[in-house]
Chains A and B, each alone.
Chain A
Amino acid sequence: MTLYSLLIAPVVDYGFMRRALVASLALALGSGPIGVLLMLRRMSLVGDAMAHAVLPGAAIGFLIAGGLSLPIMGLGGLVAGLSVALLSGLVSRTTALNEDASFASLYLTSLALGVLIVSLRGSNIDLLHVLFGTILAIDSVALYLVAGIASLTVLTLAAVYRPLVAECFDPGFLRAVGGRGPLYHLLFMFLVVINLVAGFQALGTLMSVGMMMLPAAVAQLWARTLPAMFAIAVSTAIVSGYFGLIASFHLGFASGPTIILTASLIYVGSLLLAPSGALRRLFPRPHLAA
């Protein structure tokens, strides 16, 4: 088997592979930076909770559309995700519960509701599709949606970069200069939700968060400035998307988990090799003169 037939031919020969590749590239562009910011805001698990929260909305969309339809399920997921984000904020401000506790309670409620709704009408195969995605069945409507969300994410992040950084680094300063911290927090949560929605056709509701957090963890191991972290996270996600797809094609694996596992491999490699990784501690290099 030549390198061409191994790495290039599947994409050249098959339209569904091309669409899957474009979708995972677009996902990488949006989800990479969002994951880095989630991690820096110490909200890694909030992304996971949100991914679960999206499920009932997607399930209701699934029922209304009478089958897998990304735009309608996406809209449902968006509404469900944003409701959980808003409600957790509200609960933590009006009761003694912390935001992470209310997130946990609400996403579990949401997940149970979602699985119940899907099981009412759909078959187990449908449930598997919603939970774990079908990147190889992406149509052009889904592709436009994913690309649109990626574009919106990148442009919005560019616009609100400064207040987002300020809110994360020194929230007291942002409040003092009259910056509306909660507004940017909400906008950021909105971006998290739409990126999860973009990811769930390709990777499923439960694994779309993998395209955010694994590349972000890799980025944090290698880089020390925010722009470099964004670049590494996006590159990691792109590489995972490409090699994950190719591997799933040749090996006959499900594409979503293969993509995420490829990102996991990069993560494990980085844990060992990165400047702040394990090997550097086992084999320390001599210190510098200044």
Chain B
Amino acid sequence: MKVIEKKLIELGYQKIETPLLSDFNQTRIYLSEVEQKNAIKVTSPDGRVLNLRCDSTLAMVLSKTNKIEQNIYYFEPNYNYDFEKNQMNEVYQIGIENAKFGIAKLEQNNAELAYGLESLELAITLLKEKERSNLLVEVSNEALFMEVLDDLSLGEEEKEKLLYFIKRRNAKEIRICLEQSAVSINVIEVLVKLTSHPIQLDLVLSMIENITIFNKLTQWLEVISQRIGNDLLFEGLPDASKPYYSGLSYRIYDKENHLLSVSGGCYYFEAFEVAGCGFTIPMEVISC
């Protein structure tokens, strides 16, 4: 922890503390119905309903401090809802947020991506400070990839089924679902590959170039390739879907210790008009 904190202070990051308990009536506007129902709540002596710090609490803090456009970090537990397992999890982590850009910059996709890649590079630097060098970097753009899937003209039920099997990387079932779409066999082959296994960036680019439905994705990946290089993986849809990620999301795996060491991306909390990009490093990575 000291190594990472020292580096962050050196880079001008400021430590913040977010409240352990938020006023539920203020918090609920950025929570889904399921999250609202499952948030861990207590009632204060004066009758206010309070909920334990959730992973979106930072948005509230940023919304109040946004004007200062400060790069920040925090080191405290969050309580977030796991949709797949239908339970609340406590996650102890260090969070590092680059909130230097505002909404106007977010609207320009390339600017957002540039900031996102800057935060990805910082994550790699911090892991190297912790002497982790055997790293596997994976990038995704869920919103852009969903646009590709929307273009397949699948019915609601078929699409839901497809997403279920993509989450499980079940290539056989993914193929069966895609065969019900109106796209050509070539496009199906590409989509099966992209959704069933993370693939090296240069290979992805060679597979999707000149295929119309992938045009936007191709342009986006080319920007990444020019900035970071091709030694990273592309994942169509990431495992843990975070609806607030607005573009780039990334994960860094430590190949030597078989750990997911960093998870992050660019986000936008509509309710608070807060944009930023950042990542978290779980406690087990910091402590080992």
Do A and B originate from a single complex?
no
Residue numbers of B with Cβ under 8 A of A are: none
